[in-house]
């Protein structure tokens, strides 16, 4: 076995690591704005259905492959395929995953950089007494300033690659243990405060009273993509973490806990953000700036608002940090599997992602009108295509591999449950998840 592979220190550490990967911008930034753009409750309903029927079973598939293979994604896939008498070409799925996370990390780092900017501004009291219009204008001015955005993007990516270079398990365990629960508490407080505002009732109606007429094939596809994104599934990134999973642990239980927490965080963020949107008469379909303009306004009304806002952005930054470390892992693991040392591999990945990330930075200024594909600029492309097409395609292949290709005993042992549990999981993946992903992809693309 690969001597460089470490193990997570405990079961708790594994769950925390996967939660750290799952909870991030997807819950607090992407979920509210995507929900806002896609009609509210109808989208939420679809997204939860996809988490249960597709995201969760495929998450187990992905982690079990890593756990059974105990190598980098590419090597695990190749090894397990050969052992099952299937084609070693399955290993290219690992490379496809690395390409997917490459695209995702290129904008993830840029948007995380926005959190750095907002953290600094709120520490300096920049939002004290600001009107909603002023917050919005400040955000626009920041987006139009490539130098500041590049600085933050660079800082964030350097922070990420440093932890990755040091080895994920050691670096991550400390971060996750203490700070993530604090973020949940803060979100709970914020949602609790939102409940006392006049925007709360319309926000709940918007989130929980679905208008089924709003459901179109495209909305369904957005919901599927988001389910994969928020659970960190479909790009072999959790596969890489599965390789470090302890022997004695039930995978379904761990995955279930992560999914519940992940959805809960998204709901809390959604409630807090939409309460502000409706209290201020803002547009829920405002787009990627939604969280950044609503939360400073919400916190400004609270006693000690600037302090709370600073704490919030600090914790958000930690949450995105643990996610971006996970995003980097499949690329670094792939290079490592090809014989590179971890440090240089992390450096190479960092430089490449940084360069492509600059295109996202410039999408808000110089390159705003450069639309290389489908009439979208680079930021719109990298926030859409990898999530809505690459992740579902990757997830579909991962599911097929785990439920149809791998040797049965090997898959069962890696799932870590009894015969009945294994049958249930395999049945759901074979007859629900795989057909569902297939149909939605085809319908969305046609």
Query: 352 and 344 in contact (C-beta within 8 Å)?
Result: no
Q: For the chain, percent helix, then strand, then coil, each to nearest 5?
A: 80, 0, 20
Integer Cα distance of 97 and 90 in angstroms: 12
Token pair for 155: 């800082």
- Asked whether position 227 contacts ligand TRP by CB under 6 A, the answer is no
Cβ count within 10 A of residue 416: 22
- Asked whether position 232 contacts ligand TRP by CB under 6 A, the answer is yes
- Asked whether position 101 contacts ligand TRP by CB under 6 A, the answer is yes
306-325 residues near ligand TRP, rule: CB under 6 A? 323
Token pair for 427: 């049945």
Interacting stretch for ligand TRP, rule CB under 6 A, among 19-27, 122-130, 331-339, 350-358?
A: 19-27
Interacting stretch for ligand TRP, rule CB under 6 A, among 137-145, 165-173, 232-240, 290-298?
A: 232-240
- Asked whether position 27 contacts ligand TRP by CB under 6 A, the answer is yes
- Asked whether position 109 contacts ligand TRP by CB under 6 A, the answer is no
Token pair for 146: 């490539």
The nearest distance, CB 426 to ligand TRP, in angstroms, is 23
Selection from 13, 16, 47, 15 nearest residue 319 by Cα: 16
Pick the binder of ligand TRP from 21, 190, 311, 346 (CB under 6 A): 21
Specify the residue, 229 or 299, whose C-beta has the smaller distance to ligand TRP.
229
- Asked whether position 24 contacts ligand TRP by CB under 6 A, the answer is yes
Using DSSP, state whether 339 is helix, strand or coil. Answer: coil
- Asked whether position 25 contacts ligand TRP by CB under 6 A, the answer is yes
323-352 residues near ligand TRP, rule: CB under 6 A? 323, 326-327
Specify the residue, 22 or 135, whose C-beta has the smaller distance to ligand TRP.
22
Supply the DSSP string of 70-118, one letter for each residue: -S-HHHHHHHHHHHTT--GGGGHHHHHHHHHHHHHHHHHHHHHHHHHHH
- Asked whether position 235 contacts ligand TRP by CB under 6 A, the answer is yes
Specify the residue, 26 or 138, whose C-beta has the smaller distance to ligand TRP.
26
Integer Cα distance of 435 and 223 in angstroms: 16
Pick the binder of ligand TRP from 22, 34, 111, 254 (CB under 6 A): 22
Integer Cα distance of 422 and 228 in angstroms: 22
The nearest distance, CB 323 to ligand TRP, in angstroms, is 4
Q: Which parts of this chain interact with ligand TRP (CB under 6 A)?
A: 21-22, 24-27, 101, 104, 229-230, 232, 235, 237, 323, 326-327, 391
């Amino acid at each position: 076995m690969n001597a460089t592979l470490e193990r997570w220190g405990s079961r708790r550490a594994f769950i925390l690591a996967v939660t750290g990967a799952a909870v991030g911008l997807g819950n607090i930034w992407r979920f509210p704005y995507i929900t806002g753009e896609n009609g509210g409750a109808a989208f939420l309903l679809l997204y939860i259905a996809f988490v249960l029927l597709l995201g969760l079973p495929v998450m187990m598939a992905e982690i079990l492959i890593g756990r059974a293979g105990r190598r980098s994604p590419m090597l695990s896939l190749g090894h397990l395929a050969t052992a099952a008498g299937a084609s070693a070409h399955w290993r290219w799925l690992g490379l496809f995953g690395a390409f997917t996370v490459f695209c995702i990390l290129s904008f993830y780092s840029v948007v995380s950089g926005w959190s750095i900017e907002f953290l600094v501004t709120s520490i300096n009291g920049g939002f004290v007494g600001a009107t909603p219009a002023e917050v919005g204008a400040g955000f626009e001015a920041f987006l139009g300033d490539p130098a500041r955005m590049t600085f933050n993007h660079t800082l964030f990516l350097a922070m990420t690659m440093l932890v990755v270079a040091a080895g994920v398990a050691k670096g991550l365990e400390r971060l996750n243990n203490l700070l993530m629960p604090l973020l949940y508490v803060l979100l709970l407080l914020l949602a609790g405060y939102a409940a006392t505002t006049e925007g709360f009732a319309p926000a709940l109606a918007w989130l929980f009273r679905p208008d089924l007429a709003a459901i179109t094939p495209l909305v369904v596809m957005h919901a599927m993509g988001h389910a994969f994104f928020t659970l960190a599934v479909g790009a072999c990134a959790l596969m890489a973490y599965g390789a470090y999973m302890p022997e004695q642990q039930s995978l379904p239980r761990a995955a279930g806990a992560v999914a519940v927490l992940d959805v809960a965080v998204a709901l809390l963020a959604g409630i807090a953000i939409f309460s502000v949107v409706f209290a201020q008469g803002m547009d829920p379909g405002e787009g990627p700036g939604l969280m950044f303009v609503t939360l400073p306004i919400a916190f400004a009304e609270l006693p000690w608002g600037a302090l709370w806002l600073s704490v919030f952005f600090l914790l958000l930054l930690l949450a995105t940090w643990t996610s971006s470390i996970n995003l980097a892992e499949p690329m670094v693991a792939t290079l490592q599997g090809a014989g590179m040392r971890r440090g240089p591999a992390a450096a190479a990945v960092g430089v490449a992602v940084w360069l492509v990330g600059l295109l996202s930075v410039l999408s808000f200024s110089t390159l705003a009108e450069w639309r290389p594909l489908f009439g979208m600029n680079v930021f719109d492309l990298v926030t859409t295509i990898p999530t809505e097409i690459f992740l579902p395609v990757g997830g579909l292949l991962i599911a097929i591999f785990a439920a149809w290709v791998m040797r049965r005993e090997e898959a069962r042992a890696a799932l870590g449950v009894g015969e009945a549990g294994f049958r249930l999981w395999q049945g759901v993946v074979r007859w629900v998840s795989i057909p569902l992903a297939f149909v939605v992809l085809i319908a969305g693309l046609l």
